[in-house]
Homo-oligomer: A and B are copies of this chain.
């Protein structure tokens, strides 16, 4: 097992069988000591954050597997805070895909002239580039295609999968009386046919969730969703 990459919240190891091991860390993104899933810097360390994120990720990835939705997931070991995944290549240097059900965050900062806080949105999908220096700029299908990051066919699959997976997460949260406002995914190319598949994680840090109009912190969300 060889250490190949140190991420903000995960370390990556190459396994001898060609798969990879993701080690979920207790470091979470944020600014000024406050947990902020949208932030690009590691803000603080919370004991148990890695395992909690993995527990929710395992929960959702196993639902997706049952529904035959392509992901990189193989299995997870909660005690070790590790997840085994298939190798994947990202689009360009990585893109994030956001599915929005309510107007909050950067959507509201950009489109506040036409939207009010918390206004319902139609599962609107947008893609942003992973580029800390340029503050993860949004990018259109045309630009993704022109810059050779994603083909038009891949974009269509990615958009459809985003809506489908977003709705699955939304419904699972709704079973606990929780409203999903938005959720952020990463996709990559997996397998010999390089099919578009969900990668990374689906944890509290990837979404904004509310209960009775109150924002739920990622760790609290993971507690509410996973009854041990």
- Write the residues of chain A forming the contact surface with B, with a CB cutoff of 8 angstroms: 92-93, 109-115, 121-122, 124-126, 129, 131, 133-134, 137-143, 146-149
Contacts and interface: CB of A to CB of B under 8 A. Distances in A.
A98 to B, nearest CB: 11
Contacts of A143: 111, 124, 126
A84 B71 CA distance: 59
B111 A125 contact: no
Q: Give the copy number.
A: 2
A141 B77 CA distance: 42
Contacts of A112: 134
A125 B142 CA distance: 8
User: Secondary structure of the A side of the interface?
Assistant: mixed
Identify the interface centre among A110, A114, A126: most chain B CB within 10 Å of its CB. A114
9 contacts: A92-B114, A109-B134, A110-B134, A110-B137, A111-B139, A114-B129, A114-B149, A138-B140, A140-B141
A109 to B, nearest CB: 7
A101 to B, nearest CB: 12
Identify the interface centre among A121, A143, A146: most chain B CB within 10 Å of its CB. A143
Contact of A111 (B111, B122, B147): B147
Nearest to A107: B143
A129 B146 contact: no
Nearest to A94: B113
A93 B115 CA distance: 13
A140 B148 CA distance: 19
Contact of A142 (B114, B124, B133, B142): B124
